[in-house]
Structure 1
Amino acid sequence: MSDEEVFRVPDEVLHEVLTIAQSALKLIYEVRRELTDDEVKSLTQDVIESGNVKSLKLELPILRTDNRRDMGEFRKQMASRLEVHIGDHRLPLDPVTVEDGEGMQLPASARSDTNELLRKLENEKLGVTRSSLQFLADLVKDGFTEDEQWDILMEQAMSTKWVKD
């Protein structure tokens, strides 16, 4: 079964009858219906006339300020930050000479010094003894003859199990 078949929504609509008490159904209907303005006014008047206004608990707003006013203030602050006045900053606006090492770029002398150092390193001889070089060459050298290499390859091929696809 493919993923499409598993997650496919059936085309037919199931008409399922819910078993619910009549009182619960009536409560759901009353809660979900919209009240008219007259009904809201009469309910409000009933609460006020009942004298239990002191026992009503009022929820204070989570935010102590008006969201629209706060967003307006924030917008003004951001707009003022976007306006950059170059005279307000204490940046060095004098012309700089890169060759004297001023500014953000490296002078050409730094590049030439680097190239000179690299040339010296390339021409420098390593202080390695002949025995050390011979040892390294022996490590790198393959000690098998061509026939021995062929025999090893054949042994590996014979021990490999071949599986047909």
Structure 2
Amino acid sequence: MRVAFLMAPKGVEQIELTEPWQAVIAAGGTPKLISTAAGKVQAFHHLDKADRFPVDLTVAEASVADFDGLVLPGGLANPDALRQDRKAVAFTKAFFDAGKPVAAICHAPWTLVEADVVRGRTLTSYPSLRTDIRNAGGTWVDEQVSVCTAGPNTLITSRRPADLHAFCKACVAEFSA
């Protein structure tokens, strides 16, 4: 199982990257860090700088065909930057077009809203995105993890770092299928 982790050069919530990443490795998979720029990604613990992580491929270099699924970690700044990057939005949408599973946590569904892939889908997120998701045609639920199969692919979403255990379990189950 090869899983793409898409993020901007800065602003990702570190634990929302590292826990799903480790879950993929523990399940025998290969995670790859994809970013909008080469180099390293600056992670954060909420608003404080944390570790830096090396980028494996840029969005321009990556191909959806090489991956079995996509993880969109959250943080506040990360998805806000991604939704403003045309190539990142197209990369995200391409997973839906290919019928491949996508997982998004916390604020990451902002990228899904921008990619216009939430219409008719049920998902959760950090509560402040509730109105954005509803305005984009999605159904927002306040649940630890939501697994929606009403569409071309499976969409796994979660609210916040406290939900990571359930999120990782659902991701690994779907990516391994």
TM-score, normalising length: structure 2: 0.12
When normalised by structure 1's length, the TM-score is 0.13
- Between 1 and 2, higher relative CO (CA 8 Å, sep ≥ 6) is seen in 2
Rg larger in structure: 1
Q: By percentage of residues, which structure has more helix? A: 1
